[in-house]
C-alpha cells in the first residue's frame, strides 16, 4: 500500500521526496514540491510507532494506542475554545534526562504536551494559536529534523514532514530554528498561555532552544514583553480531568493487566522484597502494559509504615504483612493498585481484624472501626494512623492534573483512586498486637452517571480469595 493511503492522520498524508538525497522538508514545503514517487509507510522510520510500522500496537487512525488523530485534534480545538482571540498556548516536550554521562533514564513525555499532540519525542514545542475571528486556530509543531548521523546513535526521528503529515500540524519547523521564529509569533499574540515561566515546571526544551544550554526563565519573560504570561496548567487541568471513553478504555486495560499482576504475585511465596518488586514489574508487561506507571512499593512488615517506601531491599518474614503498591502503564495512561496480604499466605487473627477494618470503611468510618478494635481514637489520633488522603485523580499521571481542586464535585468521566489505609507505629498508644502493621487497599475507579466503574477488579482483595490463592 502507498503511504498516502495508510498513514494514521485523517488529514494530510502525502510525503514528498525530491531525489535519493532530498532537500530538507522545510525547503520542499516552501517550494511546494510534491513529486509523484511514493514509498511504503512501513519502509519509513519514525520516532515512535505508527500503524503502518506497528500494526500490532496501533489500529488504523490512531496516533497512540487507543487514541485517534481525530481525538487529538478535538483536544486542541477544545483548548483553543478556552483562549481569548489572538492568544497562543505554548507547551514544551520533556527533555531526555541523563543519570550519568551519556547514560539516560527512560524517556517520559510531558503529559500536557502528549495530551495535545500525540507526539512522543523529546526536544519539541507545540504552539496552539486562536485566530482573530475566534472561530479557528493554528497548530504549530517544532521538532527535531531528520538527521542520519544523530539517528544512528539515538534512534529514528519523525522529522518535520511527519509533524505535518502524521501529527496534523498546520505549520511545522525545525526546533533548532525556533529562536528565530518564536519572537514574531509571540509578538502577534494578545495573551501568552504557558507554564514555562513557572518555578514548579521542568520544561527546559523551549528555554534551551531559545537561549542555549543555561537558560534563564527571566529571558523568556523578556521575550513575552510587558504582557504577563497566563498560567496554562489550570486550563489544561480542566481539559484533562474529565476522561473520554477512549481514555477510560486505556485505563481499564492498564487496570486489568495490573490487577492480574497483583493477583499472580499473591499466589507465590516470597522471601525478599526485591524479588517481589521484579516479579510485579515483569507481570505488568506480560499482561500487556508497556511499563510500570511508577516505582512499585514492596514493603514487608514495618516498612509499610513509609507511605512511599520504594527501597524494596529487605527480607520478608512469614509472620508479617506485605504491602504492595504498583501499577502498569498503557498508551500513556496508568493504573494504581495497592494490596496487602500475609507473607505466609494466611492471616493471623490480628492481621485479619485490621485488614477487614480497612476493607469495610470509607474515611469517615475508619475511626469507629479502629475504636472497636481497641484503639484510642480521641483527639487527632486518626491523623497519625491515616496520614494521607482517601483519594487522588489518576489518568496520564499517577497523581493526575496537579493543582486541580479536591473539593470539586465528582462527575461522569472523573477518574480517581479509593485508598483507605491504617499505619500503626510501634508506640504504646496502640494495642500491642497491631503495632508495626500497615494495611492499604487501593483501587482505580472511573465515575459514571449511575455507579462507579471499577477499573482494577482483577486484583483480589477479600480475605477468603487471598488465602485461597496458595491452596
pLDDT per residue of the chain (471 residues) written in tens, 0 to 9: 333 333 444 434 434 332 223 333 333 343 333 333 466 766 789 999 999 999 999 999 999 999 999 999 999 999 999 999 999 999 999 888 888 988 999 999 999 999 999 999 999 999 999 988 878 999 999 999 999 999 999 999 999 999 999 999 999 999 989 888 888 898 899 999 998 755 444 445 565 556 554 444 455 556 665 567 899 999 999 999 999 999 999 999 999 999 999 999 999 999 999 999 999 999 999 999 999 999 999 999 999 999 999 999 999 999 999 999 999 999 999 999 999 999 999 999 999 999 999 999 886 689 999 999 999 999 999 999 999 999 999 999 999 999 999 999 999 999 999 999 999 999 999 999 999 999 999 999 999 998 899 999 999 999 999 999 997
Strands 88-92 and 192-194: parallel
Q: With residue 59 as reference, give the H or E element that holds it.
A: none
Sequence-ordered list of residues with C-beta below 8 angstroms from that of 61, at least 6 positions apart, any chain? 8, 10, 51, 68, 69, 70
Into which CATH architecture does domain 3-239 fall?
3-Layer(aba) Sandwich (3.40)
Nearest Cα to 187, choosing from 215, 229, 232, 223?
223
Q: DSSP 3-state assignment of 368?
A: helix
Domain ranges of the chain: 3-239, 245-468
Whether residue 447 contacts residue 411, with contact meaning beta carbons closer than 8 Å, is answered with yes
Cα Rg of the chain, angstroms: 25
Q: Which CATH number fits domain 245-468: 3.30.499.10, 3.30.1480.10, 3.90.230.10, 3.20.20.70?
A: 3.90.230.10
pLDDT of residue 180: 86
Whether residue 164 contacts residue 59, with contact meaning beta carbons closer than 8 Å, is answered with no
Amino acid at each position: 500500500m502507498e503511504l498516502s493511503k495508510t498513514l494514521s492522520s485523517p488529514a494530510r498524508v502525502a510525503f514528498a521526496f525530491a531525489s535519493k538525497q532530498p532537500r530538507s522538508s522545510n525547503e520542499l514545503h516552501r517550494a511546494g514540491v510534491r513529486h509523484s514517487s511514493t514509498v511504503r509507510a512501513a519502509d519509513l522510520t519514525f520516532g515512535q510507532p505508527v500503524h503502518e510500522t506497528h500494526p500490532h500496537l496501533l489500529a488504523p487512525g490512531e496516533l497512540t494506542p487507543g487514541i485517534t488523530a481525530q481525538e487529538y485534534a478535538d483536544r486542541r480545538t477544545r483548548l483553543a475554545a478556552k483562549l481569548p482571540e489572538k492568544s497562543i498556548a505554548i507547551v514544551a516536550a520533556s527533555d531526555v534526562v541523563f543519570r550519568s554521562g551519556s547514560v539516560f533514564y527512560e524517556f517520559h513525555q510531558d503529559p500536557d504536551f502528549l495530551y495535545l499532540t500525540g507526539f512522543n519525542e523529546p526536544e519539541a514545542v507545540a504552539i496552539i494559536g486562536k485566530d482573530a475571528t475566534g472561530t479557528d486556530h493554528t497548530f504549530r509543531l517544532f521538532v527535531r529534523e531528520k538527521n542520519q548521523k544523530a539517528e544512528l546513535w539515538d534512534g529514528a526521528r519523525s522529522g518535520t514532514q511527519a509533524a505535518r503529515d502524521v501529527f496534523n500540524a498546520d505549520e511545522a519547523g525545525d526546533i533548532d530554528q525556533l529562536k528565530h521564529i518564536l519572537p514574531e509569533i509571540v509578538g502577534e499574540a494578545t495573551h501568552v498561555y504557558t507554564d514555562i515561566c513557572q518555578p514548579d515546571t521542568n520544561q527546559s526544551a523551549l528555554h534551551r532552544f531559545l537561549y542555549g544550554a543555561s537558560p534563564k526563565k527571566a529571558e523568556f519573560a523578556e521575550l513575552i514583553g510587558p504582557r504577563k504570561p497566563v498560567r496554562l496548567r489550570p486550563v489544561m487541568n480542566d481539559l484533562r480531568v474529565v476522561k473520554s471513553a477512549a481514555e477510560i478504555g486505556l485505563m481499564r486495560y492498564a487496570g486489568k493487566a495490573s490487577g492480574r499482576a497483583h493477583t499472580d504475585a499473591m499466589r507465590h511465596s516470597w522471601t525478599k522484597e526485591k524479588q517481589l518488586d521484579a516479579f510485579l514489574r515483569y507481570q505488568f508487561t506480560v499482561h500487556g502494559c508497556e511499563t510500570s506507571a511508577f516505582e512499585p512499593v514492596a514493603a514487608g512488615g514495618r516498612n509499610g509504615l513509609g507511605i512511599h517506601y520504594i527501597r524494596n531491599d529487605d527480607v520478608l518474614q512469614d509472620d508479617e504483612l506485605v504491602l504492595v503498591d504498583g501499577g502498569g502503564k498503557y498508551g500513556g495512561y496508568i493504573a494504581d493498585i495497592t494490596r496487602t496480604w500475609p507473607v505466609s499466605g494466611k492471616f493471623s487473627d490480628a492481621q485479619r481484624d485490621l485488614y477487614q477494618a480497612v476493607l469495610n470503611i470509607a474515611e469517615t468510618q475508619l475511626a469507629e472501626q479502629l475504636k472497636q478494635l481497641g484503639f484510642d481514637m480521641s483527639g487527632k489520633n486518626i491523623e497519625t494512623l491515616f496520614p494521607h488522603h482517601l483519594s487522588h485523580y489518576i489518568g496520564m499521571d499517577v497523581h493526575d492534573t496537579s493543582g486541580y481542586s479536591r473539593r470539586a464535585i465528582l462527575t461522569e468521566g472523573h477518574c480517581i483512586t479509593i485508598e483507605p489505609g491504617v499505619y500503626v507505629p510501634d508506640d504504646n498508644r496502640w494495642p500491642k498486637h497491631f503495632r508495626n502493621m500497615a494495611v492499604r487497599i487501593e483501587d482505580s475507579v472511573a465515575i459514571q452517571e449511575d455507579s462507579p466503574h471499577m477499573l482494577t477488579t482483577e486484583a483480589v482483595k477479600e480475605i477468603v480469595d487471598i488465602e485461597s490463592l496458595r491452596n
